[in-house]
Amino acid sequence: MNVIEATQLVKTYNPDTIPVHAVNNVSLDIKKGEFTAIVGPSGSGKTTLLNMIGGLDTPTEGKVIVDGVEIDNLNQSELTDFRMHNIGFVFQSYNLIPVMTARENIEFIMLLQKIDKNARESRSEELMEKMGISETSKRRPSELSGGQQQRVAVARALASKPKFILADEPTANLDSQSTNSLLDIMAKMNEEENVTFVFSTHDQRVIDKAKRVITIVDGKVESDETK
């Protein structure tokens, strides 16, 4: 079953002056349980593609269907709700709410979802345990290392049990050790809980860990290999 179906996606910036086709006719299906890397050099259109798939940006042409819902048909507020319930996000850096502790950050989306306290607590404890960040639970983001922050961000994304997680260059600001451990954790969650991950990267070590690698050049899919 496809969690994501993107059909002939086009994103054109400055259509009236000097058009930039950041994403140029990309079609793409992601199935449940995939661990997929979107790969390409800087400026190739990875972020633009992920933003459209995640309902953060609207395509100039084409459509995105997430879990059977054509998300371009949703209005702004419906889309925000849709993201909350269905999509987990991990960004390059500064993902977390600075005034909240690690644990509060992890529970934040569950709070927005009005999940009750006990369920929230057991879920966040479980995730912190799995991610090896239990000891950071009471610390604020500024007191965490970059690697810990990204693990908290992944935990937050996972907490609400989304259909899939989009991570735009989640390791771009991490050293190699933190990169490894973040990838290991993501892979483990993929194995154990069958969580679907779509992440972008141009780091070969990260690419090596992906099960499927979609390469984008100049906004077009150049290759799509499943290992």
Partner 1 sequence: MLYLKLAWRNIWRNRKRTWITASSIGFAVFFAVFMQSMQLGSYQRMIDNSVRFYTGHLAIHQAAYWEEKLLDNGFEQSKVESLILDSETIDVAVPRLTSFALASYKDKTKGALINGVDPILEARLTYLDNKLTAGSYMSGNGVLVAKGLAEYLKISVGDTLIFVSQGYHGVNAAGKYPVEGILKFPVPELNQSAVYLPLPLAQEFFGAEGIITSYSLLMNEPDEITEVQSSLAGFAKENDLEVMNWEEMMPELLQGIEMDYYGGLIMIYILYAVIGFGILGTFLMMTKERTYEFGILVSIGMKKLKIQFMVALEILMLTFFGVLLGLVASFPLTFYFFNNPIEFTGDAAKAYENFGYEAIIPFSLDPVIFYSQGVVILIISLFLGIYPMLAIQHLKIIKALKE
Ligand X SMILES: Nc1ncnc2c1ncn2[C@@H]1O[C@H](COP(=O)(O)OP(=O)(O)O)[C@@H](O)[C@H]1O
89 binds, among ligand X, Mg ion, partner 1, none (CB under 5 to 8 A by kind): partner 1
Alpha carbon separation from 128 to 26, 125, 197 (Å, rounded) = 36, 5, 19
22 binds, among partner 1, ligand X, Mg ion, none (CB under 5 to 8 A by kind): ligand X
Footprint of Mg ion on residues 15-54 (CB under 5 A)?
Answer: 47
In 3D space, the residue among 150, 100, 158 whose CA is nearest the CA of residue 127 turns out to be 158
Nearer to ligand X, 44 or 105 (CB): 44
Contact residues for ligand X (CB under 6 A)?
13-14, 20, 22, 40, 42-48
Contact residues for partner 1 (CB under 8 A)?
51, 54, 56-57, 76-77, 80-81, 83-85, 88-89, 91, 94-95, 97-100, 108-109, 111-112, 156-157, 160
> CA 24 from chain center: how many Å?
21
Nearer to ligand X, 45 or 88 (CB): 45
CB 47 within 8 A of CB 200: yes
159 binds, among partner 1, ligand X, Mg ion, none (CB under 5 to 8 A by kind): none
Alpha carbon separation from 227 to 37, 84, 93, 207, 211 (Å, rounded) = 12, 31, 29, 11, 5
Nearer to ligand X, 2 or 12 (CB): 12
In 3D space, the residue among 69, 79, 128 whose CA is nearest the CA of residue 104 turns out to be 128
